[in-house]
Structure formats: structure tokens, C-alpha cells
Chains A and B, each alone.
Chain A
């Protein structure tokens, strides 16, 4: 069933904007909670084997989430998301920046503006489907590279290593 859910990722290089659309097999209020409550966010925000650790989160306009992406070696990359607009349970906007461990925004590093939209699709009552559309505006396309370096590079490389091992194992079985 999961396979029929939409996933769309596009990048408009000219406007330095990333668009991510995804459907989830859950009702609108649950998906909203998954994006706006720290205890749920920390369970999925970091691609494994990285971990997301939210130190503080105040989900209201003017509030912020202060969190770290923790590498498998325990290295912490801190970020701050500042909530600039909230319309429960259909939209919220935030500005995402890198920070140090003392919650100071690093102005030398790129920040990005996020717009997240939530809408219930035409699923049945027993199997509701919620669509999330995310728009991420960057000041420069190269900023994306920095984000990968800071938050995910290690994790992604490890995933690739895992895949490589798996493929080796599978080919040896033949």
C-alpha cells in the first residue's frame, strides 16, 4: 500500500527552491503532530544511523526548535528552526539556520525559508491519506551542498556502504 503513496522531489535551480511532496497513510491531525511535536519529530527527522535530538521546542509564532543531528560517532551538528507563521493544521513556515551548541545562530552559514502545507486527500475514512507539500527556498544553490555536509553526509555514505555490502553478499550467493 505504501508504494502507491506519492513522493515527488524537484529542484528549481533558477529560483534555488526545493519542492518535496509526499503522501502519508494517516489522518491530517496525526501527520501535523508528527511535524510539530518534538517527541515524534525526533523519531524520524534524522536519516538513520544519524539521530535527531531536540533540546528545546516552542511551537508558536516567534518560537523555535533547537536541535542537533547526531552522527553515529556522537558528533553533534546544531540547528535552529524559527517559526514565523502557524495555521493549524494546514500550514506553518519557518526559517532554518545552523547554530552552535550554545544556541547561537551561525550567520556565516546558509539559512533557508521553509513553507509546509498539509492537506487531507480523498482517502476513505478507514484509510485516510494526508499530503505534505514542502517548499524550501535557499539564497544560493550551493547552500544545499553545505546542508548535506553538515547534516547527512556521514549518514548517507554509511547507507551506501551498507548497500555495497549487501550487494556483495547477494552476488556471492549466486
Chain B
């Protein structure tokens, strides 16, 4: 939701079965992780998504996926070697 537009905790809470306080708490943690940025407009704080940060996370998750891919390709070779030895 906040990827599309900046929203207040109250507006976000209205979309879910939860309280404004609970939403605020989640947003505070996400702000600390710099995944969400806040902007004061009058009495209200608007939250929006830090798209670049999310991309950064995807980038290192992709590295993790590559590691498993490499590791398992190596295991394929090991398994095929063992199978040949058994025959």
C-alpha cells in the first residue's frame, strides 16, 4: 500500500483488523531499518516505502540463492561420482 502512496498509520490501520498503535509500532521498526521513510505534514506523519532499500535486500537474497545453486550443482557431481564408483 505504501509503495503506491505515502500514508498515515491511521489510514493504514483502517485497511486491516488492527489498531493504529500496532501499525505505528511496525512502522517505527521499519523506519529504524531504513525500509520506510517518514514525513511530517502538519500534525500527521506520512510513511512511504524506500524502494531502493527493498531492491538492496533483493540483491543480497539473490546472492544467497546463487550460493545454494552452486552448492547443489557441486553435490550433483559428487552424487554422480559416487554412483559410478558403486557400479
Contacts and interface: CB of A to CB of B under 8 A. Distances in A.
Interface of A: 2, 5, 7, 9, 11, 13, 18, 20, 22, 24-26, 30-31, 34, 40, 43-48, 141-142, 144-145, 147-148, 151-152, 155-156, 159
A9 B68 contact: yes
B64 A48 contact: no
B82 interface: yes
A22 B72 contact: yes
25 contacts: A5-B76, A7-B72, A9-B64, A13-B57, A18-B64, A24-B72, A24-B76, A24-B79, A25-B76, A25-B79, A25-B80, A30-B79, A31-B79, A34-B78, A40-B78, A43-B74, A44-B71, A44-B75, A44-B78, A46-B71, A47-B70, A48-B70, A144-B60, A148-B60, A152-B63
Given A30-B83, A141-B57, A43 B63 contact: no
A166 B74 CA distance: 20
Given A148-B64, A159-B70, 12 more contacts: A7-B69, A22-B72, A25-B76, A26-B79, A26-B80, A30-B83, A44-B72, A44-B75, A48-B70, A48-B74, A144-B60, A145-B60
A129 to B, nearest CB: 11
Contact of A11 (B61, B71, B74, B77): B61
Interface of B: 33, 57, 60-61, 63-72, 74-80, 82-83
A99 B77 CA distance: 29
Residue among A44, A145, A148 having the largest count of chain B Cβ atoms under 10 Å: A44
Nearest to B80: A25
A24 B57 CA distance: 29
Contacts of B64: 9, 11, 18, 144, 147-148
A156 B67 contact: yes
Nearest to B61: A11
Nearest to B71: A47
Nearest to A153: B63
Contacts of B63: 148, 152, 156
Nearest to A20: B68
B67 to A, nearest CB: 5
